[in-house]
Structure 1
């Protein structure tokens, strides 16, 4: 059975993993920029806001970047108090101005000390880095700045809280997969082989129909289970099949 599943996923990967995918997807937002820090910030916002109607996601991402003068890195480092007032009125579903101002405060604090956002995902110590440790570290670090808004915690998932971390895993895919017409591949601290497949409802439903998931919950353990099955198809790049699974669910309604 899995031989046929692999053939199907390989076929759909080749069909959808191309530049045409970019236009309708949130990954189009970081593709608007060339400076590494602008790409990081735009990609992070695009990933975090990536739930709901894709047209609405893209429109709101563009609106947010326009509020930052389409220069997000410069904005987060050099803004003045009055520049933040319009941001307080930004809303995307349950993400609001309070959440946005915390994001801006975090970016300013981080980029004031570090060159790249990548370092925010690298836990300290000598232990081997993996996605689970990376995301748990990032969650604690993101909320370590003073006056962290409690309501904003629901927008930054972590494996230790059981979440599948779909949006952050998608963000890591964008940042780490190289030689891709879609993903940006600007980070090096993880390899594509280590990535965890983003698990949303579409991917989960298709994966269950294909026998790639046995668990009923869409949580971190299920994301791991799916990735292990995909790793058997391609040990070096298991999450490439996210394109196939997502397309089967959204584009083809498999």
Structure 2
């Protein structure tokens, strides 16, 4: 395929998969349960954090997280009691356990009380064409307060050459102005042009087959390579191609 043919092919796949039907089988459905900004962004952040493994299990456990917070995530983060936190101890999703969950709630409270919330914190260190430094700085602030060392592994640092798939997916949900109603686009301070593709095994394999990626590992260097190619296709909304790459990999076994 020529560059032009490849762009047309991917644009077609974006239209095919960036539809409301996508929500039914994706954890993006969790933030869609809410209408208040803070509820949406907290629900999105927590469900994106556990978005690895079996998708049905991710969705089931994300719903469980919301139930444990009384389906009012922002209110729970800001006004929970010690007794409320005890309820979270039973939670487990793969290696993310109840103690990690409790640590995340405390860190989120610190962010809303002392850093003007999630959007302000992510927006603070953004650079032209990249959110990777911003994600790294976010992680530092997130673990500013006393925490278990084990919990740190649940937020990636792109400056340590991680592809940070889950946080990049979360930023897509929050920032991408999507007229199809999948991504929520409630954050207006971060341009979609700065976003990175959530690179995982599916999107990575498809990208290699299409000649968009030569690097074998799905790491930070691979992400930079893929982002550079996708920005050639659409510099204002490069991350829309996540729908094409993911759809081709997961739904079509491309």
TM beyond 0.5: yes
Q: In structure 2, how many angstroms separate the alpha carbons of the residues matched to 1:182 and 1:127?
A: 25
Aligned to 2:166: 167
* TM-score computed with the length of structure 2 as normaliser: 0.95
How many Å separate the matches in 1 of 2:56 and 2:128? 39
Find the aligned partners of 2:220 and 2:79 in 1 and give their Cα distance.
37
Q: Deviations over 1:76-133 (max 9, x none)?
A: 1111111111101110000001111110101111222354311221336x97684012
Where in structure 1 are there 5+ consecutive unaligned residues? none
Q: Which shows bigger deviation, 197-206 or 153-162?
A: 153-162
Task: Report the equivalent of 1:225.
Answer: 225
Task: Report the secondary structure of 1:23's partner residue.
Answer: helix
Q: 1:243 to 1:129 in 2, by over 3 A?
A: closer
* Matched positions, count: 252
Output aligned runs, 1:101-180, within 5 Å.
Answer: 101-123=102-124, 130-145=130-145, 147-180=146-179
SS of the aligned residue for 1:122 comes to helix
Measure how far apart 1:172 and its partner are.
0.4
**Aligned match of 1:22:** 23
- Which residue in the other structure is 1:182 paired with? 182
Decide whether aligned partners of structure 1 residues 253 and 155 sit closer, same or farther in structure 2, where only a CA change above 3 A counts.
same
Distance 1:89 1:38, change over 3 A: same
Output the CA distance in 2 between the equivalents of 1:160 and 1:148.
Answer: 21
The aligned runs of 1:73-92 (5 Å cut-off) are 73-92=74-93
Preserved contact between residue 178 and residue 184 of structure 1 (Cα < 8 Å): yes
1:205-245 Cα offsets, whole Å, 9 max, x none, are: 00000000011111111111101111111111111000000
Q: Is the 8 A contact 1:122 1:137 kept in 2?
A: no
Deviation string, structure 1 residues 46-89 (Cα, Å, up to 9, x no partner): 11111111111111000110010000100111111111111011
- 2:175 maps to 1:194: no
Distance 1:222 1:38, change over 3 A: same
CA distance in 2, matches of 1:121, 1:22: 25
- Aligned: 1:236 with 2:236: yes
Q: Is the 8 A contact 2:129 2:194 kept in 1?
A: no
Q: Distance in 2 between matches of 1:234 and 1:160?
A: 25
**Aligned-partner Cα distance in 1 for 2:177–2:144:** 31
Contact 2:77 2:105 in 1 (8 A): yes
| SS at structure 1 position matched to 2:162 | coil
Preserved contact between residue 123 and residue 190 of structure 2 (Cα < 8 Å) = no
Query: 1:154 and 1:114 mapped to 2: Cα distance?
Result: 22
Distance of 1:11 and 1:128 partners within structure 2: 28
Q: CA deviation at 1:153?
A: 1.2
Q: Is residue 123–residue 129 contact of structure 1 (8 Å, CA) maintained in 2?
A: no
